[in-house]
Structure 1
Amino acid sequence: MGQPRLPVIVGFGGINGAGRASGHHAYRRLVQDALPSATRQRTLAALAQLMGLEDPVASTAHILDHTLVRRVESSHFDPDAVSWTQRLVAQGEGGPLHLTLRKQQLPAIIPGNWTVTPLSVGQVAVRIDGALDMLLPSLREFEVKAAGQLPTGFHPGKLYQSRNHPRGLQMMVYAASDALGSLGIPWEQIQQRVAADKISVYAGSAMGQLDDAGGGGMLKARYNGQRVTSKFCPLSLAEMPADFVNAYVLGSLGATGASLGACASFLYNLRLGIEDIRSGRARVAFIGSSEAPVNPEVMEGYGAMGALASDKGLRELDGLPSDVEPDHRRACRPFAENCGFTIAESSQMVVLFDDALALELGATVYGAATDVFVNADGYKKSISGPGVGNYITMAKAVAAVRAMLGEQAVRKGGLVQAHGTGTPQNRVTESQILSATAKAFGIDAWPVAALKCYLGHSLGSASGDQVSATLGIWADGIIPGINTIDALAEDVCQDGLAFTLRHREIDPARQSYAIINSKGFGGNNASATLLSPAVTARMLQSRHGSGQWQAWERANEEVRARQQDYDAAMTAGTVSPTYRFDFGVLGDADVAIGERDMQVGSYRIDLDLPNPYADMQP
């Protein structure tokens, strides 16, 4: 088969509470107070455009206050007055209960204890012998009031003909379009160089689409006296983000799907893309996840588990009286005294090329994604409790670095993006896992970042947030500090670890790797090995030689210029998401199957397949 191909990261895009991922803008929102003035102003301008603000300088305070984790805003729901349904049993005073109703309000099947008497053409009298069991619409204060939300004023569905799409799918269209634009290479040019069946798309959402335009609307409609529409069911499916990218953004005919692993889902999909690139099954892979769980129903579910940081819990941590509102911006406190995680919304997508294609097209190299290791916990006492599987994934991820780069690189040139949810169990168990791994590989002061303190926990998209931020760290040389905490909790294991409580400057040229760690409900553990752009560049030069590398450098100049043009146009608000509805649809007449190949539209697909079991002739 020859040498395995190297999966190179050549583009990325998305949207979360920090803003637009491409151009490193979302990452730079996290470290905005440590950036040079010009860089900071560019990111504030990008955020101002998203939020519909004209003057980023005059609006700086508003931008900073209305991004990242904060109090749930009314565009989602009012946490002080959440719609509820209260059961009410009514009876007549000393006898039957009498009602006057419009005839059309009568139930289709009249209850046995009802007597209905016509009063007029449109009205009836109803006598009820016994009790009337009713569900009464009401309002209730919600105990969880903090969430990681998209920047205030940003509405992805208004940027294209969203046709009542669930919010998560709107976000995925934006993220995929952003990743596509970030490439600096026209998609049509890539399609000319890559066979149609050599493009993979793996994207999903751990929760599915549970807002009112998706599964949530389908499940609530009957109880709210509404009609179930034909879109609710199909658009709620967990793999629908990939389907939307294929059907409306890329027009892809290649491999597709979603691998679900609760909060590790993005890395599960990254694993599929890496395997496709390494094996040669694909030359291009789009990897993504989209999660929109900031709604009362989903948050109530996690709150019932005791998993979310409530106002009561935050007040107890800070010693505040019951009538004082806690600081919702500090709701998520990884590795400190804490009381639960903070739910968040995010959609992220990265683009992988194989190494030869990246050089051929002059693609910008942001790093390489070489491995994702996935292991379960084995037998469990609690489906939501932590287990031992993450020890395996972390050890393998670091062992992969050692195999590729050697002992010194492991010890001196890496960092860890911790899962860091902000729960008491996570701070203990994950710190023990990271410390044990550091000790085993001789690492003395492993830098540990925990981005959920800024962004919250976006469930299946969380590791996508971690990946895009890691690319920013390698670009700007600043590891974001865990800025919501003053000190680590006493039960956090620190041996061999260097938790970054404040922003930490590093030299990107001396960085070798990052480990992206993710732990999911049910024992879904995943740890990914990413190689820095500096290391990836040396590997590419070693494999392809100085001549091809110099040709890549020349081609990359034009690509970088187009990337800068795209970023400037996005900041100016002159670029709309790619959304191609009813565009280039292929049918039966566009397919011709031959003995050795087939034609689908303008695409040729090879049918002369090798026998992978040639040594096992029957």
Structure 2
Amino acid sequence: MHSDRYMPRRVVVTGLGAITPLGVGNSRLWEGLLAGRSGIRPLTGPEFADHPVRIAGTVPVDPAELLPKPQARRMNRAALLAVTAAREAWRDAGFVASGTRGSGLDPERVGVSVGTIIGGAAVLVAGDRRLRAKGARAVPPLTAPMTVPSQAASQISIDLGITGEARTVVSACASGTEAIGQAIDRIRYGHVDIVLAGGAEAAVTPEVMAAFSAMRALSARNDAPEAASRPFAKDRDGFVNSEGAGLLVLESEEHARARGARIYCEAAGWGLSADAHHMAAPDPTGGGIAAALRRALADARAGAADVTHINAHATATVEGDLAEAAGLSTVFGDADGAVPVPVTALKGSLGHLQGGAGGVEAVVTALTLHHGIIPPTKGCDDLDDAIPLDVVTTFARPLPTRGDLALSNSFGFGGHNAVLALRRR
């Protein structure tokens, strides 16, 4: 047992990796956001032909082609995305491509923490179809291990030789952010020194699209996919379902400095809360959101005045955006409720990556602090009058010099609220 187990250590971000509808790699993600590009596309497959919503944010490559075939065929799509992003983050942190093997790292002091929601549901659906068509013997033998949500974390562990721990968080659309928060604590209190943390999701399937359509939660702008996701806008009409993965390498500061690592920012704290309100709708008062924001600030030993930027959850649903604005106004608003902190919402370009959203948005928040630039919110051409936020639109904006903390928000069905606090160095 390490003597510093109960002495909190400072945690820093040393590596970033992403695969999103804007392309493969965090550079494609960052450049696409700054340019105001969209990764939302028509769904042209025959399985979507009779769907009321036929647009989604899809990764523009086949992730199975990015890994060796014998390895790829044992993974569900979410795991393929997760491993691809994890490999980039690992290399970006300065570690060897072979993972912990031959790196000089103790694999037992390295962990994985991944948030997801559905895992390999598409694999289970395919197995069910084979069962009904051809009988039990036709179901592939790896159907069960390829279905479980924990496959993304386990496949990263296998790929990089990580034996410390492989954790999975399932808390609706807050999953990726909560996975990062849990990783911060595992490093803080000495359980491990390094964690690959983030989120991954691949749920653009006919079944999921039909389910969200039945809820009337999706934007139905089939004729204008690139303009369909409109966070905070007056004319927003629902979110756009998307896929992707974002992973960060988190590391104790002393470990990072001892090896001369490049540090993007500090992973300063995180906060959780639960609305206890409704299975599918947020608390309209934003009370639970405000609680998570305050807990993240307290965990980072900071106050509202220390916040220089907020990366909003902002799915572009009418109720969700209003609830988030209410929570932000409660914590950061002036006497009139207006929030002076610049806010951006990435789902205008990316759509909603579900359990992967928190990971990708944390990657972008780290890049925002590192480069000192706030990406614009695509789709918010006419801000809702009921949303008292300073939303960055049209063009990127320099990060204010006041304050040193950036927040990344994630909120999910059932009232799951998670907020990550990153501090610039």
The TM-score normalised by the length of structure 2 is: 0.90
CA deviation map 1:282-316 (0-9, x unaligned): 10111132211111111111111111112xxx4xx
Which residue identity does 2:422 align to in structure 1?
A: L
Mapped partners of 1:181, 1:357: distance in 2 = 16
Pair 180,486 (structure 1): closer, same or farther in 2 beyond 3 Å: same
Which residue identity does 2:35 align to in structure 1?
A: Q
Mapped partners of 1:348, 1:444: distance in 2 = 28
Give how far 1:252 is off: 1.4
Aligned CA RMSD, in angstroms, stands at 2.4
Mapped partners of 2:150, 2:391: distance in 1 = 35
Give how far 1:529 is off: 0.8
Q: Which residue of 1 aligns with 2:270?
A: 372
The TM-score normalised by the length of structure 1 is: 0.63
Larger radius of gyration: 1
Q: Which residue of 2 aligns with 1:431?
A: 325
Q: Which residue of 2 aligns with 1:218?
A: 127
Q: Which residue of 1 aligns with 2:281?
A: 385
- Are the aligned partners of 2:265 and 2:370 in contact in 1 as well (CA < 8 Å)? no
Mapped partners of 1:13, 1:349: distance in 2 = 5
Mapped partners of 1:413, 1:443: distance in 2 = 15
Mapped partners of 1:285, 1:508: distance in 2 = 30
Alignment of 1:422-501 (within 5 A): 422-439=316-333, 445-492=340-387, 494=388, 497-501=389-393
How many pairs were matched up? 410
Asked whether 1:240 is paired with 2:244, we answer: no
| Alignment equivalent of 1:6, drawn from 1, 5, 10 | 10
Secondary structure, in 3 states, of the residue corresponding to 2:121?
A: coil
CA deviation map 1:577-602 (0-9, x unaligned): xxxxxxxxxxxxxxxxxxxxxxxxxx
CA deviation map 1:513-548 (0-9, x unaligned): 11111111111110111111x2xxxxxxxxxxxxxx
CA deviation map 1:233-263 (0-9, x unaligned): 111101110110111x211111222121110
Q: Which residue of 2 aligns with 1:541?
A: none
Mapped partners of 1:189, 1:239: distance in 2 = 20
Give how far 1:398 is off: 3.0
- Are the aligned partners of 2:40 and 2:351 in contact in 1 as well (CA < 8 Å)? yes
Mapped partners of 1:482, 1:9: distance in 2 = 24
Mapped partners of 1:521, 1:31: distance in 2 = 29
Q: Which residue of 1 aligns with 2:293?
A: 394
- Are the aligned partners of 2:63 and 2:80 in contact in 1 as well (CA < 8 Å)? yes
Task: Among all aligned residue pairs of Structure 1 and Structure 2, give the percentage whose two residues are the same amino acid.
Answer: 27
Q: Can you give the 5+ residue segments of structure 1 that lack an aligned partner in the other structure?
A: 34-63, 83-139, 315-324, 535-618
- Are the aligned partners of 1:412 and 1:443 in contact in 2 as well (CA < 8 Å)? no
Asked whether 1:525 is paired with 2:417, we answer: yes
Pair 440,239 (structure 1): closer, same or farther in 2 beyond 3 Å: farther
Mapped partners of 2:192, 2:89: distance in 1 = 18
Q: Which residue of 1 aligns with 2:312?
A: 418
Alignment of 1:84-95 (within 5 A): none
Give how far 1:194 is off: 4.2
Mapped partners of 1:190, 1:168: distance in 2 = 23
Pair 240,273 (structure 1): closer, same or farther in 2 beyond 3 Å: same
| Alignment equivalent of 1:333, drawn from 230, 242, 248 | 230
Secondary structure, in 3 states, of the residue corresponding to 1:221?
A: helix
Secondary structure, in 3 states, of the residue corresponding to 1:258?
A: strand
Give how far 1:510 is off: 5.7
Give how far 1:508 is off: 7.2
Runs of 4+ in 1 over 6 A off after TM superposition: 187-191, 440-443
- Are the aligned partners of 1:199 and 1:282 in contact in 2 as well (CA < 8 Å)? yes
| Alignment equivalent of 1:201, drawn from 112, 121, 129 | 112
Mapped partners of 1:246, 1:468: distance in 2 = 20
- Are the aligned partners of 1:146 and 1:329 in contact in 2 as well (CA < 8 Å)? no
Q: Which residue of 2 aligns with 1:48?
A: none
Mapped partners of 2:307, 2:288: distance in 1 = 25
